[in-house]
Amino acid sequence: MSLIVQKYGGTSVADVEHLKNVARKVAEWKKKTDHLVVVLSAMAGETNVLLRLAHEACDNPDEREMDMLLSSGERVTIPLLAMILKSRGIKAISLTGRQSGIFTDGMHTRARIKTIKTDSIKKYLDDDYVVVVAGFQGYSEENDAVTTLGRGGSDTTAVALAVALGADRCEIYTDVDGVYTTDPRVVPSARRLHHVSYEEMLEMSGLGAKVLQIRSVEFAAKFGMPILVKSSFQDGPGTWVKAEDAHMEKVLVASVVYDKAQAKLTIAGVPDSPGIAAKIFGAIAGNGINVDMIIQNISVHGLTDISLTVPTADAKKTLDRLEAVKEEINAREVLTDGNIGKVSVVGVGMRSHPGVAAKMFSMLADAGISLQMISTSEIKISCIINEEDVDRAVRMLHEGFELGKE
Amino acid sequence: MSLIVQKYGGTSVADVEHLKNVARKVAEWKKKTDHLVVVLSAMAGETNVLLRLAHEACDNPDEREMDMLLSSGERVTIPLLAMILKSRGIKAISLTGRQSGIFTDGMHTRARIKTIKTDSIKKYLDDDYVVVVAGFQGYSEENDAVTTLGRGGSDTTAVALAVALGADRCEIYTDVDGVYTTDPRVVPSARRLHHVSYEEMLEMSGLGAKVLQIRSVEFAAKFGMPILVKSSFQDGPGTWVKAEDAHMEKVLVASVVYDKAQAKLTIAGVPDSPGIAAKIFGAIAGNGINVDMIIQNISVHGLTDISLTVPTADAKKTLDRLEAVKEEINAREVLTDGNIGKVSVVGVGMRSHPGVAAKMFSMLADAGISLQMISTSEIKISCIINEEDVDRAVRMLHEGFELGKE
């Protein structure tokens, strides 16, 4: 028995006309597979509309109520798709997160799936229904309340359901036709990858590639569920995200990723004594601030500078925290620089091929681009550079590592 | 311990600004009563938007999916009100129909409440929460699906909750400040009634007065729950809907009601033989068509005409059914007249005071308005007249029965 879980999101569920297009694809797929589960997100833009209503309502919306509000979005798309399918003679039923058996912890707006009770979905699948599931949402039994899985959570719904149901694969239909060697808007010769490994996809999602929610990739990696990323609008082979195999290891660098929505903060003139870093990072921890890179300059006359990068959205909050701790640690000043960007190369091949970092640095140096901060993992190298150099750096690295060639 | 159930609907929940106004009223009321339950409908117009999406999606939307779709509307208003209240320091929580324990039969789009399990609401009330409940929706355990109670169902949610919780009263906040002797847009001297009996309100709701869903009045009458109809926008005493009392019986006529959204259909030249009426009404029964009045002319040469009235919305469907049955019963033709209206007088005083009908007919005759059909009950008289005469008839009857005077 074949079973596929498909997820349609973004503009592919933007309105009724697009949902009819999804229904056509689903009808085709139902002929090719025994069982089909379809996960939908809210209509494109709807989540932003609901967020705006909440922020009109009050300054710090209660998170339980926020989840009740946000979860209404998928309750519009799922019945619409189910009724279109039914009107075309295909047995279909829409299920909310709770009705699909997706139970989470009680962390509203960023809940994690605890368990999936598949009885109900399985019953409908056995009865030959296409099951249309609301993505992004679950239910906390402890709170007796609906929860949401965070931005892009529908990807995680789809992968988690695929794992729980033992699906053959999880297909993610989106606005792009796969995962690219880099952003085609910056580098026209960017090439769609046939496959990337879970590790590469994790790095790429973490570095700013918006194809998949990072948690969905973690889930897929943990359980070895193959993901196929495809376009909602055109046919094509898409990109497989799956376990690393022999073929992949031949590739040195799979992708160049960039992120301009970064800010650098520097605490200058910090007395270089033990425990200072702990005080600084203690002050900003636990506030949902996502510190990315950290660098500490060599101490001169007992004073040092500590720089860190955060997403632009967290810059103001981070600055407030650092200003608050400045007095306490007797630092001179706090500086902010929003004019930076991060460019990274990712590839599992780096594990067995040293020298990628050196090659990257020399390419950037030859182009006169100076590096402000560097961070590496086993399979990626990231550099912080001036924002205005980012596009040029991406183009050069893409060409230098010959990513445009098969 | 005092407990009030309040319902806010229509334009009073049209947007966030209006919801803030509701929050202000709720905050005031929370000081005056021990326990407060607030039932909300969807934002004004939202239900129509969702209906339009469904009809764009397909011709005959599946009713289970329709309920899933329509029930999303209240999931927007209830968390918004709850988060506004919380931001103002008032303990509040939003609950869906299912979470409020409102369980219905499985008749999607027109479900009836079977039982209300009040444990959860009571727990929150005991804990001093304002409980904000989604109106219009319930849950069918047999279908494991959300259901809706039909247009205006939020009124029924409010009254049913008031009964189940043993509330002191149920307050319905709406766009008008009470129940009037007639439509003030037609008769400027129309007067707000201090109280009307359940029976009068039932007749008025059935005759086209749009203040309360008829089912909510049935529910209130059955359990003797007093309803107070008030304006969402201005203070005022409102109108009590409650059991008939000695005071009310002195009033001959309480109200003049009209309905222009009526159509008359006539099957002409019907052989006057037994079983013909059964065939005709058998053909239109069971299609959700609401036949109001029926009249059969005196038979001439063995042929008769049968006329009936239906809401304008059902006219096309009724015509199709009658055309289909025409051959079978060998009738000559089917005629439709959309140019009619119904004008009615309602009052419990009619029970003990004969002659109201005669007075009504003579007033209409004096004005040269001819009666096409008449229907009566113990406490109402309705006449079908030409649509263009309706406003004039309403003004005359309102004056003739002296309804403008206290």
Q: A72–B76: do the CB atoms touch at under 8 Å?
A: yes
Interval B55-79 mean pLDDT: 96
Please report residues of B whose CB lies closer than 8 A to that of A14.
Answer: none
B138 or B348, which is more confident? B138
Question: Which one of B54, B57, B68 has the shortest CB-CB distance to A94?
Answer: B68
In A224-314, which ranges are continuous DSSP H helix? 246-249, 276-284
Question: Which one of A20, A68, A99 has the shortest CB-CB distance to B75?
Answer: A68
- DSSP strands (E only) in A123-179: 130-134, 137-140, 145-148, 169-174
Least confident of A260-264, B55-59, B250-254: B250-254
Backbone angles phi, psi at A331, to 5 degrees: -85, 160
- Identify the three-state secondary structure at position A389: helix
Interval B45-69 mean pLDDT: 95
Please report residues of A whose CB lies closer than 8 A to that of B64.
Answer: 93
Indicate the length of chain A as a whole number. 406
Give the integer Cα–Cα distance in Å for A212 and A219. Answer: 12
Whether the CB of B89 is below 8 Å from some CB of chain A: the reply is: no
Q: How far is B236 from chain A (nearest CA, A)?
A: 27
Whether the CB of A121 is below 8 Å from some CB of chain B: the reply is: no
- Identify the three-state secondary structure at position A58: coil
The pLDDT value given to residue B314: 87
Whether the CB of B143 is below 8 Å from some CB of chain A: the reply is: no
Q: What is the dihedral of CA B73, B74, B75, B78, to 10 degrees?
A: 140
Burial of B222 (0-12, 13-18, 19+ CB in 10 A): exposed
- Give the other-Cβ count within 10 Å of A278's Cβ: 10
Please report residues of A whose CB lies closer than 8 A to that of B65.
Answer: 79-80, 82-83, 86, 94
Model confidence at A249: pLDDT above 60: no
The pLDDT value given to residue B292: 85
Helical (H) or strand (E) element with B84: helix B74-87
Report which of A339, A326, A353 is spatially closest to residue A385, judged by C-alpha positions.
A339
Which residue, among A16, A68, A127, would best test binding to B if mutated, counting the most B CBs under 10 Å from its CB? A68
Percentage of residues in chain B with pLDDT exceeding 90?
Answer: 72
Model confidence at A298: pLDDT above 80: no
Q: How far is B403 from chain A (nearest CA, A)?
A: 44
The pLDDT value given to residue A93: 98
DSSP string, B122-185: HHHHHTTPEEEEESSEEEETTTTEEEE--TTHHHHHHHHHHHHHT-SEEEEEESSSS-BSS-TT
Q: How far is A158 from chain B (nearest CA, A)?
A: 21
Please report residues of A whose CB lies closer than 8 A to that of B140.
Answer: none
The pLDDT value given to residue B247: 65
Please report residues of B whose CB lies closer than 8 A to that of A62.
Answer: 82-83, 86-87
Q: Rg (Cα) of chain B, in Å, rounded?
A: 23
> What is the residue-averaged pLDDT of chain A?
92
Find the farthest-apart pair of alpha carbons in chain A and give their distance in angstroms, rounded: 79
The pLDDT value given to residue A252: 83
Give the integer Cα–Cα distance in Å for B272 and B270. Answer: 6
Q: How far is B58 from chain A (nearest CA, A)?
A: 6
Report which of A391, A380, A392, A381 is spatially closest to residue A196, judged by C-alpha positions.
A380
Q: Are B256 and B181 in contact (CB under 8 A)?
A: yes
Give me the residues of B, 35-54, that contact A with CB < 8 A. Answer: 50, 53-54
Burial of B185 (0-12, 13-18, 19+ CB in 10 A): exposed
* Integer CA distances (angstroms), A401 to A181, A246, A360, B74, in order: 10, 20, 9, 54
Give the integer Cα–Cα distance in Å for A195 and A242. Answer: 7
Interacting residues of B330 by C-beta distance below 8 A, sequence separation 6+: B270, B271
Report which of A246, A250, A322 is spatially closest to residue A282, judged by C-alpha positions.
A322
Please report residues of B whose CB lies closer than 8 A to that of A60.
Answer: 87
Nearest CA in chain A to B69: A76
The pLDDT value given to residue A10: 79
Tokens 């006219």, located at residue = B315
The pLDDT value given to residue B249: 53
Percentage of residues in chain A with pLDDT exceeding 70?
Answer: 98
Model confidence at B245: pLDDT above 80: no
Tokens 């009908």, located at residue = B357
Burial of B321 (0-12, 13-18, 19+ CB in 10 A): buried
Q: B93–A58: do the CB atoms touch at under 8 Å?
A: no
Nearest CA in chain A to B46: A76
Query: For the segment A50-99, what is each residue's pLDDT rounded down to a tens digit?
Result: 999 999 999 999 999 999 999 999 999 999 999 999 999 999 999 999 99
* Integer CA distances (angstroms), B59 to A2, A80, A85, B51, in order: 32, 12, 12, 11
- Give the other-Cβ count within 10 Å of A55's Cβ: 12
Q: How far apart are the first and last CA of chain A?
A: 35
Q: A86–B65: do the CB atoms touch at under 8 Å?
A: yes
Please report residues of A whose CB lies closer than 8 A to that of B67.
Answer: 79
Whether the CB of A100 is below 8 Å from some CB of chain B: the reply is: no
Domains, chain A: 3-175 (3.40.1160.10), 256-400 (3.30.2130.10)
Whether the CB of A254 is below 8 Å from some CB of chain B: the reply is: no
Query: For the segment A169-227, what is each residue's pLDDT rounded down to a tens digit?
Result: 999 999 889 999 999 999 999 999 999 999 999 999 888 777 898 999 999 999 999 99
Indicate the length of chain B as a whole number. 406
Nearest CA in chain B to A120: B144
Provide the ipTM. Answer: 0.85
Please report residues of A whose CB lies closer than 8 A to that of B72.
Answer: 72-73, 75-76
- State pTM to two decimals: 0.87
Kindly list the strands in the beta sheet with B303-311, ordered across the sheet, starting from the edge strand earlier in the chain.
Answer: B294-296, B303-311, B255-271, B333-346, B380-386, B373-377
The number of C-beta contacts closer than 8 angstroms across A and B is 112
Interval B242-262 mean pLDDT: 83
Give the integer Cα–Cα distance in Å for B207 and B297. Answer: 24
Please report residues of A whose CB lies closer than 8 A to that of B80.
Answer: 53-54, 57, 65, 69
- Identify the three-state secondary structure at position B191: coil
Question: Which one of A59, A72, A83 has the shortest CB-CB distance to B72?
Answer: A72
- Written as six digits, the tokens of B25 are 């009223």
Interval B381-403 mean pLDDT: 95
Model confidence at A111: pLDDT above 80: yes
Nearest CA in chain B to A72: B72
Q: Are A241 and A166 in contact (CB under 8 A)?
A: no
The pLDDT value given to residue B302: 81
Give the integer Cα–Cα distance in Å for B168 and B27. Answer: 18
* Integer CA distances (angstroms), B314 to A401, B281, B320, B321, in order: 70, 14, 10, 11
Confidence of residue A250 (pLDDT cuts 50, 70, 90): low
- Written as six digits, the tokens of B303 are 């042929």
Tokens 């879980």, located at residue = A5
Nearest CA in chain B to A93: B65
**B153 CA to centre of own chain:** 9
Whether the CB of B353 is below 8 Å from some CB of chain A: the reply is: no
Q: B72–A68: do the CB atoms touch at under 8 Å?
A: no
- Identify the three-state secondary structure at position A144: coil
Q: A65–B83: do the CB atoms touch at under 8 Å?
A: yes
- Identify the three-state secondary structure at position B284: helix
Helical (H) or strand (E) element with A77: helix A74-87
Query: For the segment A56-68, what is each residue's pLDDT rounded down to a tens digit?
Result: 999 999 999 999 9
The pLDDT value given to residue B393: 96
Model confidence at A254: pLDDT above 60: yes
The pLDDT value given to residue B235: 87
Tokens 């403008």, located at residue = B404
Query: For the segment B12-43, what is each residue's pLDDT rounded down to a tens digit?
Result: 999 999 999 999 999 999 999 999 999 999 99
Model confidence at A400: pLDDT above 70: yes
The pLDDT value given to residue B352: 81
Taking phi first (over 0 means left), then psi (-120 to 50 degrees means alpha), and beta for anything else, what does residue A138 get?
A: beta
Backbone angles phi, psi at B90, to 5 degrees: -105, 125
Nearest CA in chain A to B21: A57
Report which of B133, B63, B80, B78 is spatially closest to residue B102, judged by C-alpha positions.
B133
Identity of residue A94: S
Whether the CB of A64 is below 8 Å from some CB of chain B: the reply is: yes
